Chain A
């Protein structure tokens, strides 16, 4: 079974803090993705990566950065957290052109 894990299920941070969300997959997938999900807006792609040290901007990259130093790990960084970044963050991985498998999600609250 594909396993995608995320570092935290729930996270509470203060405005201005630097936040790290980590995602690890154990299936040797090339592709990894970060989404945020908000009511009424669906899943919106923040960043994705096709390979180690490769990254591509998604639809809403502003205020975020990513790091992929190892194939199995894809980190999302909020440089200076703001209240409008309160959301559910979902990581996914996939082989090239194939099904995306999601992690359990991190519900982030920024106060």
Chain B
């Protein structure tokens, strides 16, 4: 069984702060890594994907990947109340199947 672990939270940060969300995975053969955001009662929407070791930035979001440590993270800079949601980490191997973590609940306090 391929495991994807996330701290369920809840994680609370003040508005304007940096939110740091973490994810570890068990399968060393994993190739692709995704972060989804899910608002309450809605379906997951893709925020970022990363394939290579290092950082990938997109606006206020930065994904970080360390394959040696089997660790992927998402940083949200200048956090806004609208960022309050559950964040899902997903990992894919060379096939087509995704393996999802159970999600981290983030609350940004105005």
Report the Cα distance A49→B32, complex, angstroms.
20
Interface size on B, residues (CB 8 A): 21
- Which of B18-26, B37-45, B64-72 forms part of the interface with chain A? B37-45
Give bound CA distance, A20 to B42, whole Å: 21
Minimum CB–CB distance from A89 to chain B (whole Å) comes to: 10
B49 at the interface (CB under 8 A from A): yes
B90 surroundings in chain A (CB, below 8 A): 100
Task: Assess whether B96 is in contact with A102, with CB atoms less than 8 Å apart.
Answer: no
Say whether B96 contacts A94, CB under 8 Å.
Answer: yes
Cβ of A45: which chain B residues have Cβ within 8 Å of it? 97-98
Q: Tell me which of B9-17, B55-63, B73-81, B100-108 binds A.
A: B100-108
B29 within 8 A of A: no
CB atoms of B34 and A40 under 8 A apart: no
- B44, B92, B96, B103: the one contacting A50 at CB < 8 Å is B96
A101 at the interface (CB under 8 A from B): yes
Query: Do B100 and A102 touch (CB < 8 A)?
Result: no
> In the complex, how many angstroms separate the beta carbon of A24 from the nearest chain B beta carbon?
15
CA distance A102 to B102 in the complex (A): 16
A104 is an interface residue with CB less than 8 A from chain B: yes
- In the complex, are the beta carbons of B94 and A97 less than 8 A apart? yes
**Complex CA–CA separation, A31 to B44 (angstroms):** 17
Q: Mark A35-64, 1 if CB is under 8 A from B, else 0.
A: 000001111010010100000000000000
Report the separation of the CA atoms of residues A45 and B101 in the bound assembly, to the nearest whole angstrom. Answer: 12
Are the C-beta atoms of B43 and A104 separated by less than 8 Å?
A: yes
Give chain B's interface residues, CB within 8 Å of chain A. 8, 32, 34, 42-46, 49, 88, 90, 92, 94-98, 100-103
5 A-B pairs closest in CB distance: A42-B102, A102-B43, A43-B100, A105-B43, A31-B96
